[in-house]
Structure 1
Amino acid sequence: MSSVRVDSWVWAVRLTKTRSQATAACRAGHVRVNDQTAKAAQPVAVGDVVRVRLHGFDRVYRVTGLATRRGSASEAAQHYEDLTPPPPPRTERPAPVIRDRGAGRPTKRERREIDRLRGRAEQ
């Protein structure tokens, strides 16, 4: 076996929960093979790079093995290499102005502090 369907592979290596979700992701354009939008029946072979958009984030995988059956998670991890770059570090944000619940609207002074914290300059 030199290739398998991309939707079957995405399901077998546990990137989606169901085969129909994998097919729907392909139809929606969320699966790319070697930087080409993939249809569900497109073959994927060892060495191909598969980019999948899951939960709003792009994940990049290199195919190291062909899987047609869904096995355990440890077995599935042997069929791909994760190439996803690490997310950028979060920036430190100043502590928000915390008001007691039900304390009413902020005063003019408090509103100016809130605007200053949010980066809105006074004019």
Structure 2
Amino acid sequence: MEKTRIDKWLWATRFYKTRSLASHEVTSGHVQVGGQDVKPSREVKLGETITVRQGSVTRTVVVKGISEQRGSASMAQLLYEETPESVAKREAAQLQRRLAPEPALTISQGRPTKRDRRDMQKVWSSD
């Protein structure tokens, strides 16, 4: 087998949990082959470059194997190889998210109470 539908390949490589979800993501424009948006029926061949966006994570992979059956995760990883640039970008983004503080953690006591708001209004109105 030298080619298969992209939605089947994405499902077999475990990028998406179901084939219908893979098909929806392809239709939504979250998957490109060679930089071009494609349809779920687009056939994938060995050596093609696929860009897959899952939430805030974007991966660029090269097709190394074709399968229409979903197997184990270790077998699925043999079907593609992530490019070094994609790995570097993904790790940099992961580090940035880890170092960036959560906005909710900067609030020391949470939302002000009614009493706190009245006290703040007194201070502001006395100026």
Structure-1-length-normalised TM-score: 0.73
Aligned twin of 2:36: 36
The percentage of counterpart residues that share the same residue type is 33
Q: Evaluate the alpha carbon distance shift between residue 56 and residue 41 of structure 1 in structure 2; reply closer, same or farther with a 3 A threshold.
A: same
Structure-2-length-normalised TM-score: 0.71
More helix by share: 2
Give the letter aligned to residue 60 of structure 1: T
Instruction: For residue 59 of structure 2, give the secondary structure of its aligned residue in structure 1.
Output: strand
Structure 1: 5+ residue runs without aligned partners? 108-123
Aligned twin of 2:18: 18
Structure 2: 5+ residue runs without aligned partners? 121-127
Q: After superposition, where does 1:1-123 map in structure 2 within 5 Å?
A: 1-83=1-83, 84-86=86-88, 87-88=91-92, 89-90=95-96, 99-100=108-109, 104=116
Q: Evaluate the alpha carbon distance shift between residue 77 and residue 99 of structure 1 in structure 2; reply closer, same or farther with a 3 A threshold.
A: closer
How many residues align structurally?
Answer: 107
Q: Evaluate the alpha carbon distance shift between residue 97 and residue 50 of structure 1 in structure 2; reply closer, same or farther with a 3 A threshold.
A: closer
Instruction: For residue 62 of structure 1, give the secondary structure of its aligned residue in structure 2.
Output: strand
CA-based RMSD: 2.6
